[in-house]
Structure 1
Amino acid sequence: MKLALMLALAAAPPQPARVCLTDPEAQAMVLVAMPDILRETGRLCAARLPEASPIRRADGALIGRYRATADQAWPAARAAIVKLSDPAADILLQSDYARPLLTSIIVPLIVGRIAVRDCTTIDRLVTNLAPLPPRNIAGIVLTTLQYLKRQKAGGKATDVPDLPLCNEDGR
């Protein structure tokens, strides 16, 4: 779920802490990665889940909805990556190969942290959240990331990356 940071790092070198992603920018980045995260999670968990599981169905309606929303979110996500990196990156990110390249780097980093023993829990979460629009799910992911960032700042969490998410005051 450390998606915002991982996409930014894949695109360019880190910038000063004052550069941060607003909620809409971070949500766009989450939306772009979600179809591939769901698909790869389904692949990882295939042996543990029933065939009817929405994450096992790479060509199913759930992942299709996320794919369509990811396509709409890509321009905003691309702009967010440029914001975190360098304006020159915009030219590179306009290539048809940029998005698949970024997700092919980021998704294994996220899905690789999933323990197979957690597949049934993930399946229950996805199944229960499936009726919600993808943007709502991206909002839940973002809110969770913001919560973890605050926990880390308060010394209550340690295994949380330094996410470039703006605070509620926009800094």
Structure 2
Amino acid sequence: MRIPRLAATALLWAGLAASTAASAQSARPCLTDSEAEALFQVMLPDVIRELGRACPQQRFLRQPSAAFMARINAGVAPAMPAAQGGIRKLLGPEGQFIAESQLAIPAVRSIVVPAIAQQIQPADCPGLDKIVSNLAPLPPRNLAAVFAALLQLSQNDEKRAPRLPICPMARPR
């Protein structure tokens, strides 16, 4: 299973590079709030597990309840169509075959989840544990929306990387 995921990841990167090159003259596509939230909802089980590995001293993240993980896992299927729509947007017309592939979501997971984990500093762990444990009663869609909003806010900080193609948060009028 590892080789198909690596191949899908390579194809996804190639598709993103091609779509970026093709759209260099036009505005670069970004994920809307709903597309980013759907992608996070699909990745949420992996993100929670990765947070537990990155923060092993934190009780909730290290060992989330079975009921919480069951709810998070149940939220994956309903978000899949919108998540694939976001991938289609990012890849453009040239990458449609990749976006429609059953390996597209696992490939995105293999890129994004480690990128998120790399941003976690040990000093962040107590706060992350508190945030996730306090938000755990939320439905998966709402929890994913919070994670997407936090990522949008962190991208305002130019020093943090990698930047994911999420459209900037709308400013209040």
Q: Distance in 1 between matches of 2:153 and 2:117?
A: 21
Q: What's the TM-score once normalised by structure 2's chain length?
A: 0.72
CA-to-aligned-CA distance 1:3-39 (integer Å, 9 cap, x gap): xxxxxx8461234435332221121112122211111
State percent identity of aligned pairs: 36
Match of 2:32 among 13, 22, 25: 22
Unpaired stretches in structure 1, ≥5 consecutive residues: 1-8
| Alignment correspondent of 2:4 | none
| Alignment correspondent of 1:123 | 129
| Alignment correspondent of 2:99 | 93
Q: Which has the higher helix share?
A: 2
Do the aligned partners of residues 39 and 139 (structure 1) sit closer, same or farther apart at CA in structure 2, a change above 3 Å counting? same
Conserved 8 A contact 1:31-1:69: yes
Equivalence map 1:129-144=2 (5 Å):
129-144=135-150
| Alignment RMSD | 2.7
1:110 is matched by which residue type in structure 2?
I
Q: What's the TM-score once normalised by structure 1's chain length?
A: 0.72
Equivalence map 1:15-164=2 (5 Å):
15=23, 16-17=26-27, 19-46=29-56, 48-50=57-59, 53=60, 55-57=61-63, 60-148=66-154, 152=156, 157-160=157-160, 161=163, 163-164=165-166
Deviation at 1:82, TM superposition (A): 0.9
Deviation at 1:144, TM superposition (A): 3.3
**3-state DSSP class of the match of 1:132?**
coil
Deviation at 1:131, TM superposition (A): 0.8
1:90 is matched by which residue type in structure 2?
Q
CA-to-aligned-CA distance 1:73-124 (integer Å, 9 cap, x gap): 1221111111122234232233333322221222111112212233222111
